Amino acid sequence: MKKLLDLTYVHRLLIAVLLMMTFLVLLLLLRGKHYLLFSFMCLLCSILPAYWRFEREPIRTKTLMFIAILIALAVAGRVPLAAIPSVQAASFIIIIGGISLGPELGFITGSTTALVSNMFLGQGPWTPWQMLAWGLMGLTAGLLGKTRIKKSLLLVVIFGGVWGFLFGWIMDLWYALAYINPLNLKSFILAFGASVPFDALHAGANVLLLTFLYKPWELLFNRLVQKYQLLSK
């Protein structure tokens, strides 16, 4: 029975991610038109896993407030540093939030951070792709939080560094598919190669913040989750 529930759990996460990717393909086919509509459709996709998780027990108001605070922190960690390419604290907050709250709420935190922060930095056809990238970051951090890996600072730091590059590769994929013509192996490699310095900055910022702040922030978040019973047992 437990294995069946685990399979259903994974399938629901996959369905939400695949739905979001379907909307991204449609956005590409429409050449970036109606990107704001697709951004909100992606937001709905990111909410689906949380809806399925809490369908039998309504999500607490305190939990929603905590998620809103996380998103606000992530936005505050991105917007003021926008002048420095790829250097921001949003990914750090999303990773910590995912580990503390689980994959469903980590997915929401990541995708919503992209949408809200771009209200200050500018919306565009890149927004849904950023929502996917940061959403997956929060989702995978939530899955990591269900294992013993979260107790290892080294492994969490490596996780953050790897996601600095994965985020860039997802955005490179959008750029290559949307703007490079003709698209061949050489142009594809050049598009990805051109972003390596920026991806390294993103990864470096994640590594630095996680190295010095992961332990105290993770302890604080776990205390808040337990004290205010933010998650159903």
Instruction: Look at residue 9 in the predicted model and tell me its pLDDT.
Output: 67
Please give the CATH topology (third level) of the domain spanning 2-227.
Answer: Arp2/3 complex 21 kDa subunit ARPC3 (1.10.1760)
Segment 24-69, tens digit of pLDDT: 999 999 988 889 899 999 999 999 888 887 776 678 889 999 999 9
Task: Quote the CA–CA distance of 219 and 197 in Å, as a whole number.
Answer: 32
Task: Quote the CA–CA distance of 6 and 153 in Å, as a whole number.
Answer: 27
Across all residues in the chain, what is the average pLDDT?
A: 91
- Contact criterion met (CB below 8 Å) for 159 and 142: no
- Contact criterion met (CB below 8 Å) for 67 and 102: no
Instruction: Look at residue 2 in the predicted model and tell me its pLDDT.
Output: 44
Summarize the chain as % helix, strand, coil (round to 5).
80, 0, 20
Residue 14 pLDDT more than 80? yes
Residue 3 pLDDT more than 60? no
Instruction: Look at residue 1 in the predicted model and tell me its pLDDT.
Output: 41
